[in-house]
Amino acid sequence: MATVATTHFADRLADAIERKRSQLVVGLDPRPDLLPVELRGEAQLGREDAAAACDRFCRGLIDAVGPYVVAVKPQVAFFEALGAAGIKTFEDVCAYARAAGLQVIADAKRGDIGSTARAYASAFLEGTPPLADALTVNPYLGRDSVEPYLAACRRHGVGIFCVVKTSNAGGAEVQDLVLSDGRPVWQQVAELVDEWGQELTGERGLSAVGAVIGATHPRAVGEARKLLPRSVLLLPGVGAQGATPGDVARAFTSGPASALVNVSRDVIYAFRGSEMDWRSAAAAEASRYAREVWAAAGW
């Protein structure tokens, strides 16, 4: 049974990273059309059967990668696509991962204001125990849209990761726009995230307010590290999107627990290019990425 998160999110993360010598997060993006053959047949029978197949897939992945990762990052959209049964599967997968001793980062990228933001914070970050240890949040609506999540961090020992600089090419259309002082927009957002997180710094010197920085922009990773000295950087884009562990080395200058590298497709669908079964293939890739990221981090 998962226990209530009573300690600071970043402190729990740092403990797990040092114990496992891993900064790897595996994204859980279950797509019924890409499931292993033994599960794909079920997934074609309807939403409830597809949700059940995705549940088995995610649980198998958690068992397989558990020794090599500190967290999993279920992408909420893939579960929502399966309707009510998918939402139930999402909840069950989160509970299963937490019971296995992993941190759960719900990748929902929520962003709204007022009572809506408070409802999102309640849905993901409050409860006994909370559904997730951390949530990805869109901060581009400003401080009042983020405050309900900050309040949840203060009360429940959870964390958030604010989307600052994304790995997709289109993100530059907004995030790289130049302000009157010559800085890009994303750097202004990074400074706000640093400000919001100062009061939520744990015993390890890291804040419960982290930031999502695309690993496909190595220069931005280094710049973000300087702007966000206390934040845990969540770095998507390694693997299928083209970034390598070496591209994110500069993210770790604030310590071995100051960044997390997320890999999704290259791990969970590794069996598609392998002769191993899907669990063994995922375990092998997770182990390899964990070693390479740890080596690149230099700790």
Q: How far apart are CA 100 and CA 85, in angstroms?
A: 22
The H or E element spanning position 163 is strand 159-165
Q: How far apart are CA 186 and CA 42, in angstroms?
A: 43
Rounded to the nearest integer, the mean pLDDT of the chain is 94
Mean pLDDT of 17-40: 95
Q: Which residue has the tokens 């090419």?
A: 169
Q: Assess contact for 212 and 25: CB atoms under 8 A.
A: no
Domain 9-297: CATH architecture, name and number where available = Alpha-Beta Barrel (3.20)
Tokens of 208: 């419960």
At residue 5, does pLDDT exceed 50? no
Q: How far apart are CA 259 and CA 136, in angstroms?
A: 15
Each residue's pLDDT tens digit, 208-253: 999 999 999 999 999 999 999 999 999 998 988 888 999 999 999 9
Q: What pTM, to 2 d.p., does this model score? A: 0.95
Mean pLDDT of 25-31: 97
Active site residue: 88, 109, 165, 226, which one? 109
Q: Which of 93-97, 156-160, 194-198, 246-250 has the lowest mean pLDDT?
A: 246-250
Selected residue with higher pLDDT from 285 and 127? 285
What backbone phi and psi angles, to 5 degrees, belong to 71? -155, 160
Q: Concatenated DSSP letters for 256-270?
A: TTSEEEEE-HHHHTG
Mean pLDDT of 256-282: 96
Q: Which residue has the tokens 């959870």?
A: 158
Give the CA count within 13 Å in the CB-facing half-sphere of 19. Answer: 12
Mean pLDDT of 273-284: 96
Q: How far apart are CA 68 and CA 288, in angstroms?
A: 9
Give the pLDDT confidence score for residue 127 in this predicted structure. Answer: 87
144: left (phi over 0), alpha (psi -120 to 50) or beta: alpha
Note if 73 is an active site residue.
no
Mean pLDDT of 259-279: 96
